[in-house]
């Protein structure tokens, strides 16, 4: 698929909006410089649609990780940090929260993040995609519909996955679709780090929750416990992803869960009065909230000027009593 510069710019704006909510990162000159270098590398890769090898920026992802680690951004949920930052007791609260959350860490594989985010939040645990590092960079395609086109982006996610896994201790869980995929991030990256923690005793129990998807819902069919004493249990879990039919079905489930996760986020933006049916938003505002990247939403957000230039602006949602 051809590069979509408008989508790249929309993702860039959203990344900066997410960063702006984390005071320590927003005000860090070193972090902001690393972000600009990272974005410049991504853009150079995105516009180059040839098959030629691309130069990886090794420094920008590592500098980004260093800043995220300084705020313990791979140990606590993004939402918790944003809600509690500031004040003289925050450092102590952050340390305590980080220790507690990483003792109930979670992974996912091939069933999208929705189920695992809910499970982690409900258990006062953490998932990579719910913590600061994950939330900042998750959900972007940067104007390219495929994966693997930017070695710089790939390095960043490798560093985030490895470092997140290294922080986990005590009890860890993974939610997987049908079984284990040998080429998944869980297998290739996170399990390799987790093995070391199991052997050392830092992680006492690793539970693999196996789900099937039928009738538009997940049902857990098995729960495998792995400890330092029975590491071979990992190899006994069924392998998936070896046939075209399964891969196509997994893609459909992935699309379904992405849509449901977007719906969850959409509903979380509503005040209680709207959820109770006492108030309602305008239809055009719903369009912008549901799919801000659609052409219809962009036209609602910014009516096309006579010059045909697109001038995006932020739409303020106004609630109307019904």
Q: Which residue has the tokens 């096309």?
A: 304
Q: Give the bridge partners for 218, in sequence order.
A: 213
Q: Which of 243, 267, 291 is the last residue of a domain?
A: 267
Sign for the CA dihedral angle at 38, 44, 47, 48 comes to negative
Q: Are residues 134 and 144 in the same domain?
A: yes
Separation CA 302–CA 310 (nearest Å): 7
pLDDT of 65 over the 90 cut = yes
Answer yes or no: pTM beyond 0.75.
Answer: yes
pLDDT tens sequence across 128-164: 999 999 999 998 999 998 788 999 999 999 999 999 9
Q: Are residues 101 and 125 in the same domain?
A: yes
The pLDDT value recorded for residue 310 is: 38
Q: Are residues 21 and 156 in the same domain?
A: yes
Q: Which of 267, 283, 301 is the last residue of a domain?
A: 267
The pLDDT value recorded for residue 314 is: 39
Q: Are residues 33 and 180 in the same domain?
A: yes
pLDDT of 281 over the 80 cut = no
Q: Are residues 233 and 284 in the same domain?
A: no
Span 9-31, average pLDDT: 97
- Contact by Cβ (8 Å): 105, 76: no
pLDDT tens sequence across 220-257: 999 999 999 999 999 999 999 888 999 999 989 888 88
Q: Are residues 185 and 310 in the same domain?
A: no
Q: Which of 222, 250, 267 is the last residue of a domain?
A: 267
Domain assignment of residue 273, given as a range = 269-322
| Distances, alpha carbon 92 to alpha carbons 77, 84, 85, 126, 233, in Å | 16, 11, 11, 18, 38
Q: Which of 208-212, 219-223, 263-267 comes out lowest in average pLDDT?
A: 263-267
Those residues whose C-beta lies under 8 Å from the C-beta of residue 47, and which sit 6 or more positions away, are 3, 5
The pLDDT value recorded for residue 296 is: 56
Q: Are residues 204 and 90 in the same domain?
A: yes
Q: Are residues 306 and 188 in the same domain?
A: no
Q: Which two tokens stand for residue 125?
A: 């645990």
pLDDT tens sequence across 37-58: 999 999 999 999 888 899 999 9
- Contact by Cβ (8 Å): 141, 11: yes
Number of domains in the chain: 2
To the nearest whole number, what is the mean pLDDT of the chain?
87
Q: Give the bridge partners for 226, in sequence order.
A: 206
pLDDT tens sequence across 161-208: 999 999 999 999 999 999 999 999 999 999 999 999 999 999 999 999
Element containing residue 248 per DSSP (H, E): helix 244-268
The pLDDT value recorded for residue 261 is: 80
- Contact by Cβ (8 Å): 34, 155: no
Q: Are residues 28 and 72 in the same domain?
A: yes
Q: Are residues 151 and 48 in the same domain?
A: yes
Q: Are residues 292 and 211 in the same domain?
A: no
- Contact by Cβ (8 Å): 7, 143: yes
The pLDDT value recorded for residue 289 is: 63
Sign for the CA dihedral angle at 306, 4, 30, 25 comes to positive
Q: What is the number of H-type helices and E-type strands within the chain?
A: 15, 9
Q: Are residues 54 and 152 in the same domain?
A: yes
- Contact by Cβ (8 Å): 181, 111: no
SS3 category, 119: helix
- Contact by Cβ (8 Å): 281, 321: no
Those residues whose C-beta lies under 8 Å from the C-beta of residue 249, and which sit 6 or more positions away, are none
Nearest CA among 185, 120, 191, 112 for reference residue 154: 185
């Amino acid at each position: 698929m051809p590069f979509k510069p408008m989508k790249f710019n929309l993702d860039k704006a959203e990344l900066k909006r997410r960063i702006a909510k984390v005071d320590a990162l927003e005000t860090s000159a070193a972090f902001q410089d690393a972000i600009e270098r990272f974005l410049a590398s991504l853009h150079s890769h995105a516009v180059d649609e040839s098959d030629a090898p691309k130069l990886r920026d090794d420094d920008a992802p590592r500098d980004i990780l260093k800043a995220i680690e300084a705020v313990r951004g791979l140990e606590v949920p993004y939402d918790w940090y944003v809600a509690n930052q500031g004040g003289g007791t925050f450092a102590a609260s952050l340390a305590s929260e980080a220790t507690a959350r990483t003792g109930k860490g979670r992974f996912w594989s091939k069933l999208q993040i929705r189920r695992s985010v809910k499970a982690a939040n409900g258990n006062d645990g953490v998932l990579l995609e719910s913590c600061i590092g994950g939330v900042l960079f998750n959900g972007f395609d940067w104007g390219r519909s495929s994966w693997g086109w930017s070695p710089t982006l790939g390095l960043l996610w490798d560093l985030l996955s490895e470092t997140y896994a290294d922080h986990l201790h005590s009890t860890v869980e993974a939610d997987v679709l049908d079984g284990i995929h040998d080429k998944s991030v869980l297998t290739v990256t996170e399990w390799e780090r987790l093995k070391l923690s199991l052997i050392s005793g830092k992680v006492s129990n690793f539970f693999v929750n196996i789900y099937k998807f039928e009738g538009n819902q997940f049902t857990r069919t098995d729960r495998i416990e792995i400890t330092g004493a029975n590491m071979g249990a990992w190899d006994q879990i069924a392998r998936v992803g070896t046939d075209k039919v399964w891969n196509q079905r997994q893609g459909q489930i992935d699309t379904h869960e992405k849509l449901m996760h977007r719906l969850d986020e959409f509903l979380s933006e509503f005040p209680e009065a709207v959820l109770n049916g006492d108030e309602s938003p305008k239809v055009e505002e719903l369009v912008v909230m549901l799919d801000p990247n659609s052409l219809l939403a962009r036209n609602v957000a910014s009516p096309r000027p006579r010059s045909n230039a697109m001038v995006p602006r932020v739409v303020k949602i106004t609630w109307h009593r019904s």
